[in-house]
Amino acid sequence: MGIHKPAWLEALYVQKFFVPCSIHESAKKNEKNICCLDCCTSICPHCVMSHRFHRLLQVRRYVYHDVVRLEDLEKLIDCSNVQAYTINAAKVVFIKKRPQNRQFKGSGNFCTSCDRCLQEPFIHCSLGCKVDSVLKHYKDLSPFLRACKVLQLSPDFFIPQDYGDDEMTNETPHSTIVDCDEPLSSSSGSSGSENMSFMCTEFVRKKRSGLYVCGRSATKITDEDMATSMSRRKRVPHRSPLC
């Protein structure tokens, strides 16, 4: 390996994250927050299925900077002496350098690359600072790299299911979509002598729309029941008696 960085490490440092994916422009949640270490590119959650057999590293956001979980990064490279931070009960490490504008005058450790004040016993504020320090002093990064053939996303990572525009939520078999303001009409038979209507059951409200999913069952409703149900009106509320 010599003084050169591995391709996945260079991609992690150069690729842009948390930008819209050009392949899935019209999809929701299309921000690139994953780095494919085998393809050396950033991808969005909709691209995971195309890279499901590759090593995938999730990139997170913390104080406007890109971070990765320490647990995942330690499978790829030695992260000793790099200061970690806690986000949602998980320790993360900054990817790029974070130069400090004002020099801190006080006791404590300082980053070997950007002079940022750190807690003891850490001497690197990010992964990039450690890589630069190792290449500067040892001229070789290979002793710090670790063999990792499999790297998967965390179980709680949300992968959207692309079912298209016809996807329905909790849709029952043989169901029909009806407008919520449209009254339910009875269906007539071929002879026209008998009017048969179906009682709508299992109403499920569809997400982000004003429609209802109505599952039909073959239950006949008499003319008397139909007239009673249609004649129901909202009555005037009565005032409670005075005490």
What's the pLDDT tens digit per position in 3-22? 678 999 999 999 999 999 99
Per-residue pLDDT band at 106 (split at 50, 70, 90): low
* Distant-in-sequence, close-in-space partners of 146: CB < 8 Å, separation ≥ 6: 74, 75, 76, 77, 78
Q: Average of pLDDT values for 23-47?
A: 93
**Higher pLDDT among residues 138 and 243, named by residue:** 138
For the cut 50, the answer to whether the pLDDT of residue 201 exceeds it is: no
Q: What is the mean pLDDT of the chain?
A: 74
% of the chain exceeding 90 in pLDDT: 43
Q: Where are the chain's structural domains?
A: 7-149
**Higher pLDDT among residues 82 and 115, named by residue:** 82
- What's at 184, amino acid-wise? L
**pLDDT (tens digit, 9 = 90+) per residue, 213-236?**
334 444 455 555 555 555 555 566
**pLDDT (tens digit, 9 = 90+) per residue, 58-104?**
999 998 899 999 999 999 999 999 999 998 889 999 999 887 766 65
Q: Average of pLDDT values for 24-37?
A: 93
Phi and psi of 242, rounded to 5°? -80, 140
Per-residue pLDDT band at 203 (split at 50, 70, 90): very low
Q: Which of 6, 80, 85, 69 is nearest to 40 (CA)?
A: 6
For the cut 80, the answer to whether the pLDDT of residue 140 exceeds it is: yes
Q: Return d(Cα 92, Cα 68) in angstroms, integer.
A: 5
CB atoms within 10 A of CB 49: 10
Range ranked top by mean pLDDT from 109-118, 132-141, 153-162, 198-207: 132-141
* Distant-in-sequence, close-in-space partners of 191: CB < 8 Å, separation ≥ 6: none
